[in-house]
Amino acid sequence: MREITENKEYPGYLLKCNEHLKLDSGKSISNFQIAYQTYGKLNEQKDNAILICHALTGDQFPAEESPITKKNGWWDLMVGPDRPIDTNKYFVICSNVLGGCVGTTGPNDINPETSKIYGLDFPTITIRDMVRVQKILIDELKINKLVSVIGGSMGAMQVLQWAATYPESVKSIISVAGSLKHSAQNIAFDEAGRQSIMLDPKWHNGQYLDKDDKPENGLSVARMIAHITYLSEKAFQNKFGRNLQEKKDLSFGFGIDFQVESYLRYQGRSFVDRFDANSYLYMTRAMDYFDVSEEIQKNKEEIINNEVRFLVLSFTSDWLFPTKESKEIVSLLNSIGSNVSFAEVVSDRGHDSFLLDEPQFFRVSEGFLKGIK
């Protein structure tokens, strides 16, 4: 049994699913829920819907004011009235991913089998599992075919998984700053972040919520490590250089001397207020396991027969998901005969460019969507 209700914890909706969901690991979860938000209006034909897939530290609030941060949503420049993803025209859906910590079932929720918090008893998940849950939501909304599925970074992984697994349900795909699989370097960064969490004494082997505790230091360092990868060298240099933080001379100690140190510590501190440490572990592991290459090859006939159109976008200064990885996506899609467009956006702001004011990125995305009938 499935039921859509108003989300009392966060603005938006909850889809409660009283059923078992088998995961790629072979394990299952039951009585799970999906937290989501919508923007715009679904038309009578139910053929104007777009699904937004969020990145690692995102949530279901890409537009308007976020109830989490009290600031503009993480993709407010992209989604909204008269924006590239125009909510005057499209019905936009965004859900918190499986394993997340903003309403969708994850490791900090209650395990219905034990009536205790999951912690590390939550089964390991994959990007395909996340998309499997999103498909349940789209089906429950009685939407047969989405105009587009759009996302950047981890969201781009979900987007490609949609094309590979459910090509009959999408007209188009926009993959932004993504890849076919996680690189060894990115797996290494993820592992460094996970170790910083798990080596924090307050992690308590994943059971910190039972002890009313949080591995804040470990999660903060994990965020600092990750945030370094989101910016380019030039972005760091332009923003901070070697400027000192509210002082004229070096302290000759290990406090904050440089502005960039203050910035990273702020990023770490603010992150622990809105994110769950175990969710960080599970979601980074899902990214590590991601490799959609074989599935796209296997389902190439379905992708072609359903005439799925692709737009692949990268940014010149993104070294976390560099342009060469987007070109690998294009090459694979070309090899199976799919309809794919590619653009490399000139930006010196690194991986986070897809979240920032980049007019070329907006123009290309908006133009592509206008061509989807």
Positions annotated as catalytic residues are 153, 318, 351
**Cβ partners under 8 Å of residue 329, min gap 6:** 160, 175, 178, 179, 180, 310, 312
Answer for the pair 291, 181: CB distance below 8 angstroms, yes or no: yes
Q: Is 80 left (phi over 0), alpha (psi -120 to 50) or beta?
A: left
Is residue 152 packed enough to be buried (19+ CB in 10 Å), middle (13-18) or exposed (0-12)? buried
Answer for the pair 151, 55: CB distance below 8 angstroms, yes or no: yes
Nearest to 34 by CA among 75, 3, 64, 69: 3
Answer for the pair 154, 183: CB distance below 8 angstroms, yes or no: no
Nearest to 335 by CA among 180, 155, 171: 180
Three-state DSSP at 367 gives helix
Q: What is the DSSP string of 96-114?
A: PPTT-SSSS--TTSEETTT
- Token pair listed for 355: 């979240």
Q: What is the DSSP string of 25-91?
A: TS-EEEEEEEEEEEES---TT---EEEEE--TT--S--SSB-TTTSSB-TTTTTEETTSSEETTT-E
Give the dihedral of Cα atoms 116, 118, 120, 121; nearest 10 deg.
90
